[in-house]
Homo-oligomer: A and B are copies of this chain.
Amino acid sequence: MSDDKHIKIISTAVIKRLPRYYRYLGELLENDVVRISSKELSVRMGVTASQIRQDLNNFGGFGQQGYGYNVEYLFSEIAKILGLEKTYNIIIVGAGNLGQALANYIDFEKRGFVIKGIFDVNPRLLGISVRGIEIQDIDNMEECVRNTHVDIAVLTLPKQKAPKIANDLAEWGIKGIWNFAPIDLQISHESVTVENVHLSESLMTLSYRIKDKM
């Protein structure tokens, strides 16, 4: 029941919850937990056991009544659904603090996101190495994208520069953009998927929620 046909009908709402299941299952694995019931998992995750059963039944279930879920199997199946069994070549465009922070995040590499280049326009950053990867001039980026088949570009750029560079990257064959610039990128190439991370919007949600305590 976990063939590709089955996978295709999973709703967006469930997909959005999968990374969280993946994280919890990963922690269980780290703690050598082999099996877990939906009840126990629900207590840890703060969602109902029935929600968990429904979500996981969407892609085959994996659980047995009174027996629980096989943690490792479930973890690897969710990884497959999320595309984490594949390897993605990524570049980071913008080598400021945020770009360097993301480059230093070793967990990404563990999950198959391999950094192939870090680029910046600032001459003072050129030649500095981040986890063994030298920051290069942005003029070298096209060659890198085309020759090493870069799949994902991480944009940590000022918002004024992001649209032009995003469109160039799309032109050069990139498949996904993980955008941290505070702008909603409109890419003319339909084949490019954009995931926007608007950090300041998340902070505003927090201020909204605490403002009445001030």
Contact = CB atoms under 8 A, between A and B. Distances in A.
Given A46-B184, A208-B82, A199 B202 contact: no
A17 B150 CA distance: 33
Interface string A176-214: 101000101010000101010111111111111111011
A29 interface: no
Nearest to A200: B107
Copies of this chain? 2
Interface residues of A, number: 56
A175 interface: yes
Contacts of A204: 18-19, 22, 82-84, 111
Interface in A136-193: 151-152, 175-176, 178, 182, 184, 186, 191, 193
A100 interface: yes
Given A97-B100, A200-B19, A201-B20, A209 B182 contact: no
Contacts of A73: none
B97 A104 contact: yes
